[in-house]
Structure 1
Amino acid sequence: MLAAAIVEIKRLQLAKELDLVDKPVAIPLSVLWQIPQYFLFGAAEVFTNVGQLEFFYDQSPDAMRSLCSALALLTTSLGNYLSSFMLTVVTYFTTQGGNPGWIPADNLNKGHLDYFFWLLAGLSILNMLVYIVSAKKYRKKKAS
């Protein structure tokens, strides 16, 4: 999310420099600027999914291994629903009072998508702190 926020800041700066903020046109910024964020996101997904499946398979009771593997996929779908809900909430609160909001539907150049990425980065840091506390409290299943 940090990489996405930085790319969005660069895109908005370029839109202002070229006086394209009020025009619904594409900003002349190479798509290659998105490589770092997609690389980081893809690597994070791989490590998370593999670790999550391994944890559920290794730490669950033998009779529940299939169910726990299915729960790993369920967390992904719940995360997608949560993302949609967060987007709706952010759009609702940032468009109050006639403001275009962080994520305007008609012209992204008038919005602040970077603020949304910073919000997601902050929530990710908070999530990491909760994970660290939970991981320290977790007691591993005894080997059978």
Structure 2
Amino acid sequence: MFAIVIAQLGTYFTKQGSTMNRSITPTFQIPAASFQVFTGLTILASVLLYERALVPLARALTGHPSGITILQRIGTGLVLSMLTMAVAACVEGRRVRIARENGLLDDPKSVVPMAVWWLIPQYMLCGLSDVFTIVGLQELFYEQMPVGMRSIGAAAYITVTGVGSFLSSGLISIVQGISSRCGHEWLGDNINRGNVEYFYWVLAAMSAVNFCGYVCVAKRFVYKRIGHDQGGHSSEKVSY
């Protein structure tokens, strides 16, 4: 489910931006797709902040060597992905409302008088979600896999993103088919007449259900025994 949310970066997030005011000067507009740079910058900044500030603080509070457990890190990312879709839905609702107030619902090629900068929070939240979830998955597949299977584990988390893209396409087709049969397309060609915000809320709800399922599984997960530098071993039986 996390990967389905991330897949929206290159699809409907970009489509949202393409209809908004992207002008910096009278002669220059920011390409809508370039806003993904804010996700990348957020990832770079967050990794540094996480290691320098969050881990020491969490370590002092929890006593855990890593500050928080691997599963807690992944869970935090899943919550952030849910928040990403909620914020995106609110921004899209505002964009459609402004389009309606300016009589632009039937003119999808016109620029909606709403600054494209409104999209930055959802791009940044996507980056934060990525930092917690993807890095957490890397740690999980590396540390908790048998030594001989670590190369497979390294590839496994990458597979998550690819599968998410396919599932996103399938989910879009399902939502479009159901909404069409109900008489109003949510994801039609005219984004102003559609209800992309409803689709975002569906993703947020599905992310919430996914998180609940994740917590149920995480509570039953037992960490494998990891050797320490002193040569001893400890069993980390840590609940989520």
Instruction: Please give the range of the TM-score, normalised by the shorter of the 2 chains.
Output: over 0.9
Q: List 4+ stretches of structure 1 deviating above 3 A.
A: none
The one-letter code of the counterpart of 1:38 is: Y
Identify the residue that residue 8 of structure 1 maps to in structure 2: 92
Q: Hey, what's the Cα distance between the residues in 2 that align with 1:109 and 1:67?
A: 44
- Structure with the bigger percentage of helix: 1
Specify the alignment match of 1:37 in structure 2. Answer: 122
Question: In structure 2, what residue type is equivalent to 1:10?
Answer: R
Alignment partners' CA distance in 2, 1:31 and 1:131: 34
The whole-number CA distance in structure 2 between the counterparts of 1:136 and 1:83 is 28
Counterpart selection for 1:90 from 141, 154, 175: 175
Structure 1 counterpart of 2:207: 124
Query: Could you tell me how far apart the structure 1 residues matched to 2:159 and 2:99 are?
Result: 40
Amino acid at match of 2:201: W
1:132 & 1:86 partners in 2: Cα distance?
24
- In terms of fraction of residues, the more strand-rich structure is 2
Matched, 1:102 2:186: yes
Residue identity (%): 39
State the structure with bigger RCO (CA 8 A, min sep 6), 1 or 2: 1
Q: Note the residue ranges of structure 1 that are not aligned, 5 or more in a row.
A: none
SS of residue matched to 2:170: helix
Work out whether residues 11 and 29 of structure 1, in 8 Å CA contact, stay in contact via their aligned partners in 2: yes
One-letter code aligned to 2:179: T
Which amino acid in 1 is paired with 2:152?
L
- Counterpart secondary structure, 1:29: strand
SS for the counterpart of 1:9 is helix
RMSD across aligned C-alpha pairs, in angstroms?
A: 1.1
- How far residue 55 of structure 1 moved from its aligned partner, in angstroms, is 0.7
1:60 aligns with 2:127: no
Q: How big is each residue's C-alpha offset from its partner over 1:27-80, in whole Å with a ceiling of 9 and x where there is no partner? A: 111110000000001110121111100011000000000001101111111111
* Residue in 1 that maps onto 2:135: 50
Residue-pair matches, total: 142
CA contact (8 A) 1:52 1:72 kept: yes
Structure 2 length-normalised TM: 0.57
